[in-house]
Amino acid sequence: MAAAQVGSFNPPEVDELVARCKQGELEAFDRLIARFQKYVFTIIYQHLGSVDEIDDIAQEVFLRIFKNIRQYREESSFETWVYQVTLNYIRSHLRWKSFIGRFFIEHVEHGQEMGKPTDPMSRLCVDTRNPASTLENRQLADEVLELVRGLPASQREVLIMHEVNDLTYEEAARILGVTVGTVKSRLNRARAALRRKVKL
Amino acid sequence: MDCREFKRLIWEELDGALAEDRLAEFCAHRRQCAECEREYLKQRRLKLYIRCFPTVGEVSDQFRSELLTRVRNGDLRSHYRLNYVRVTATLALFMAILVGMLFAVNSYREYMLESSSFIARYPEGYEAVRSASAPSLQHELALRPEPPVYALNMPELRTEDFVLKLLANYRNGEVSEQLVVKLAVEPGLLEGVSMKLPERSALAPFTGQPGQTVVLFPRPLPTTIYCSVERDDLIQLRRFALDLISTYGPRVTRRGPSAQLEAGLLPYDPTKVEPPGEPPAVIEVSGAGFDARTVPPGPVSLVMKFASRPQEN
């Protein structure tokens, strides 16, 4: 999805929606959400590996997008920028979920405040693009999944960006704020680590 | 292309980033080397499995409507908020620990300063002269006429410095009042001596101003002092003398012939071998020959000798 739009950055309709969002139009924001919500949910799910609080996290990501959309300078595709915002929020979230973070950060349930039940699981349909059909292959796919999630964050992020989300080295480097060489180096380390651990 | 290079280029090939000429070499090697071919297939399979990462299928419209409701209501605050009570409590705890540590450090620093906080000032024209305290008749009678006589030889330490250190250690509780009385009060070393205590304020420990006590000696103190002390006092004096040596350095006490005592006492002779069973006539309190077990009960005679001229710094 990202790679297809890198050359021209954004399709015209996205540019228009972004411009209207910058003017504070809620309807344009609504359409942006509709367009990118699956993308954002997927990024969160892939990086966090859990659907606990995914609904809240996605809401926070979109609120950040809404608040900071004026900072989008169109130097990259909007999708890349959304990926960057989402990944930054995921990193913050992981810090808050750490031992010290849990002590200082409290989670306020907006859904309950509004009197609506929150059940993200009921709204999500998590599937995979797994071509494996046999049980053995399925198990191996799960094993690879676990191993990827066990990688150091820096390697895992690059691997998911490049291998799963098809981002180019340049896009990954821009999102992470590192050089292309660093991205390649991290990717190579991640692949080598997986190759060592997976018994194929 | 060798196997090592082939393996290095596998991921590049799988990414589709291999140049055409290199790709031809790569394919040729694959056909020739069965092991490299197997490795290539394994890594291709791994890439496929990595790409099997789960994705989210559909997200319901409820998510969007909830989010828009929040935006319309102006509720842009995060779900995750700082717990101010815990943050404040933690900061307060850290501050308390920090302040406590500061006070502890300063208390320790003050304690360390105590032992060197006394400084001496002398009246104009003051010059220490060789002299000996003239014990009163009563005092003289109290001295044991028979050996052993205990001696404290500190030929490079002024009597005033000895007194200052004694007072400082007394203030720290390291020296008993009785020892001060025996060594300084009874020989009359503190007669007419006045002390000027430092001005203390609550912030003094943090401003780095040393709290020094000025002791004024109205006259030169004698360089040789005779006194009579109890066994426990002598043992305590030995500890104090060793403390003096550690404070002022080993030159405070000079062993050997120069440590000879005057006033009719038997001189110290290191070459002289004492007959077994008989204690030496003069025993140096700070020396290795001092044995607390051999100190006789009751009062014993003590002679202390100090520098005859002001010490040069």
- Spatial contact of B26 and B18, defined as CB atoms under 8 Å apart: yes
Instruction: Decide if A90 contacts A44 (C-beta within 8 A).
Output: yes
Q: Over its length of 200 residues, how does chain A's per-residue pLDDT go in tens digits? A: 444 444 457 788 888 888 888 888 888 888 888 888 888 988 888 888 766 778 888 888 999 998 888 888 878 888 889 999 999 998 888 887 777 767 777 766 554 433 333 333 344 444 444 444 566 677 788 888 888 888 898 899 899 888 888 888 888 998 888 999 999 999 989 988 988 888 77
Q: Please tell me the distance from the alpha carbon of residue A56 to that of residue A60, in angstroms, as a whole number.
A: 6
Q: Is the pLDDT of residue B46 over 90?
A: no
The answer to whether the CB of B152 falls within 8 A of the CB of B237 is yes
Angle at the Cα of B6 from the Cα atoms of B2 and B11, rounded to 5 degrees: 170
Residue pairs spanning A and B at CB distance below 8 A: 147
Contact check, Cβ <8 Å, A111/B11: no
Q: Do A200 and B69 make contact, defined as CB atoms within 8 angstroms?
A: no
Q: Please give the ipTM for the structure prediction.
A: 0.73
Contact (CB<8Å) A111/B66? yes
Q: Is B81 on the interface with A (CB under 8 A)?
A: yes
In the predicted model, is pLDDT for residue B163 greater than 80? yes
CA–CA gap between residue B306 and residue B285 (Å, rounded): 14
Yes or no, beta carbons of A108 and B83 under 8 Å apart? no
Backbone angles phi, psi at B112, to 5 degrees: -65, -35
Which single residue is written with the structure tokens 């393996």? Answer: B7
CATH number belonging to domain A12-91: 1.10.1740.10
pLDDT tens column, A145-191: 888 888 898 899 899 888 888 888 888 998 888 999 999 999 989 98
Q: How far apart (Å, rounded) are the C-alpha atoms in residues B43 and B39?
A: 6
Give chain B's length.
313
Q: What pLDDT, in 10s, does the model give residues A140-151? A: 888 888 888 888
pLDDT of B128 over the 50 cut: no
Cα distance between residue B159 and residue B163, in whole Å: 6
The residue assigned the tokens 């002779």 is: B269
Task: List C-alpha distances in Å: B259 to B112, B149, B155, B279.
Answer: 31, 14, 8, 18
Distance of CA A39 to the CA centre of its chain: 7
Q: Give the span between the Cα atoms of B22 and B33, in whole angstroms.
A: 16
- CATH (residue range A93-198): 1.10.10.10
Q: What is the 3-state secondary structure (H, E, C) of chain A?
A: CCHHHCCCCCCHHHHHHHHHHHCCCHHHHHHHHHHHHHHHHHHHHHHHCCCCCHHHHHHHHHHHHHHHHHHCCCCCCHHHHHHHHHHHHHHHHHHHCCHHHHHHEEECCHHHHCCCCCCHHHHEEEEECCCCCCHHHHHHHHHHHHHHHCCCHHHHHHHHHHHHCCCCHHHHHHHHCCCHHHHHHHHHHHHHHHHHHCCC
pLDDT digits over B52-67, tens only?
777 777 777 788 888 8
Q: Residue holding tokens 């197997």? A: B38
Q: What is the pLDDT of residues B81-100, one digit of tens each?
A: 778 888 899 999 999 999 99
Q: Which of A150-159, B9-18, B168-177 has the highest average model confidence (pLDDT)?
A: A150-159
Residue A66: closest CA among A91, A42, A30, A34: A30
Q: What digits encode the pLDDT tens for the residues B228-278? A: 888 889 999 998 988 888 777 655 544 433 333 333 333 445 555 555 555
pLDDT at A38: 87
Judged on CB neighbours under 10 Å (0-12, 13-18, 19+), B105 is exposed
Q: Is the entire prediction scored with pTM above 0.90?
A: no
How many Å apart are CA B241 and CA B252, to the nearest integer?
A: 10
CB contact under 8 Å between B55 and A127, yes or no, is yes
- Annotated domain spans of chain A: 12-91, 93-198
pLDDT exceeds cutoff 70 at B104: yes
Q: What phi and psi values does residue A199 have, to the nearest 5 degrees?
A: -100, 105
Dist CA A143 CA B53 (whole Å): 11
Burial track B46-56 (b if 16+ CB lie within 10 A, e otherwise): bbbbbbbbbbb
Distance of CA B194 to the CA centre of its chain: 31
> B159: closest CA among B63, B292, B303?
B303
Which chain B residues contact residue A106 at CB under 8 A? 80-83
Residues of A in contact with B39 (CB under 8 A): none
Query: Two tokens at B152?
Result: 């404290």
Is residue B202 within 8 angstroms of chain A, CB to CB? no
Closest residue to A110, CB basis, from B48, B49, B79: B79
Cα→Cα distances B178→A118, A172, B174, B297, Å: 81, 81, 12, 17
Section B96-110 average pLDDT: 84
| B62 to A109: CB separation less than 8 angstroms, yes or no | no
Closest approach of chain A CAs to the CA of B89, in angstroms?
11
Q: What is the dihedral of CA B225, B229, B235, B237, to 10 degrees?
A: -30
β-pair partners for B130 = none
